[in-house]
Amino acid sequence: MTQEISAIYPGSFDPVTNGHLDIVERGRSIFDRVVVAVSVNQDKNPLFTIEERIEMLRDVTRQWDNVEIDQFDGLLVDYATSRGASVILRGIRAVTDFDYEFQMALMNRRLAGSIETVFLVPAEAYEYLSSSLVKEVASLGGTVSGLLPLLVEELLSAKLEALTDADKEL
Ligand code: ADP
């Protein structure tokens, strides 16, 4: 019997976009299991709570039986080892991602030589898509349809509305 390969797909997913899902879908067709792991300590000022981000991810990956959603704290390689994963999956977009991603991949290899980082490229339509850009455009009233799952789009607009209302009350 060949050994099953699990991949960890780490990130802040604040919120999950169609670009993230594109990578999950490609990853799940290569590896036996993909664990989407939301980083607890990465982003100091997220728009969505960790619970909200996890719930959205669970909702939009429900149809994929070899995809699991989890959260992690501390060193990614320690988490990957604890999950028995031998692969760190990352999505790579335009050239701007390379420098940071190379640094991370080499540092993680230094920390845990048996874990390989695998980069996947999304469909062209998502090449310039990021959670932060989506949040910026949506907060300025621009349309982000087609860039996010419908449920996430609705939750994003509700969240931004709630924030605007809270601002008005100050
Ligand atoms: P991080 O803060 O760790 O970059 P993100 O949630 O922004 O977390 O991204 C998680 C992973 O998904 C990263 O590897 C990132 O490069 C990748 N990613 C984000 N957006 C896209 C996209 N539109 N297409 C492909 N990969 C993406």
The pLDDT tens digits for 41-66 are 766 789 999 999 999 999 999 999 99
Query: What size, in residues, is the chain?
Result: 170
pLDDT value for 134: 97
pLDDT value for 43: 62
Higher pLDDT, 23 or 44: 23
Report which protein residue has its CA nearest ligand 1's atom 24: 19
pLDDT value for 170: 62
Could you tell me the distance, in angstroms and rounded to a whole number, from the CA of residue 163 to the centre of ligand 1? 25
Model pTM score: 0.94
Could you tell me the distance, in angstroms and rounded to a whole number, from the CA of residue 129 to the centre of ligand 1? 9
Ligand 1: atom nearest CA of 16 is 6
Phi, psi values for residue 62, rounded to 5°: -55, -30
Give the pair of three-digit tokens for residue 23. Answer: 């990578």
Report which protein residue has its CA nearest ligand 1's atom 27: 91
Phi, psi values for residue 83, rounded to 5°: -95, 0
Q: What are the start-end ranges of the H helices in 68-149?
A: 76-82, 98-111, 131-139
User: Which is nearest to 18 in space by CA: 138, 159, 127, 156?
Assistant: 127
Give, to the nearest 10 degrees, the angle between helix 131-139 and helix 150-169: 50
Report which protein residue has its CA nearest ligand 1's atom 4: 11
Does residue 22 surpass a pLDDT of 80?
Answer: yes
Q: Which domains does the chain have, with CATH numbers?
A: 6-127 (3.40.50.620)
Ligand 1: atom nearest CA of 97 is 16
> What is the sign of the dihedral through the CA atoms of 83, 19, 67 and 119?
negative
Does residue 169 surpass a pLDDT of 80?
Answer: no
Q: How far apart are CA 19 and CA 124, in angstroms?
A: 10
Does residue 2 surpass a pLDDT of 70?
Answer: yes
| pLDDT tens digits along 75-131 | 999 999 999 999 999 999 987 788 999 999 999 999 999 999 999 999 999 999 999
- Which residues neighbour 31 within 8 Å (Cβ) at sequence distance 6 or greater? 5, 6, 7, 66, 87, 89
pLDDT band, very low/low/confident/very high, at 142 (cuts 50, 70, 90): very high
Could you tell me the distance, in angstroms and rounded to a whole number, from the CA of residue 35 to the centre of ligand 1? 14
Instruction: List the beta strands (DSSP E) in 66-170.
Output: 67-72, 87-91, 116-120
Give the pair of three-digit tokens for residue 132. Answer: 């932060």
pLDDT value for 1: 60
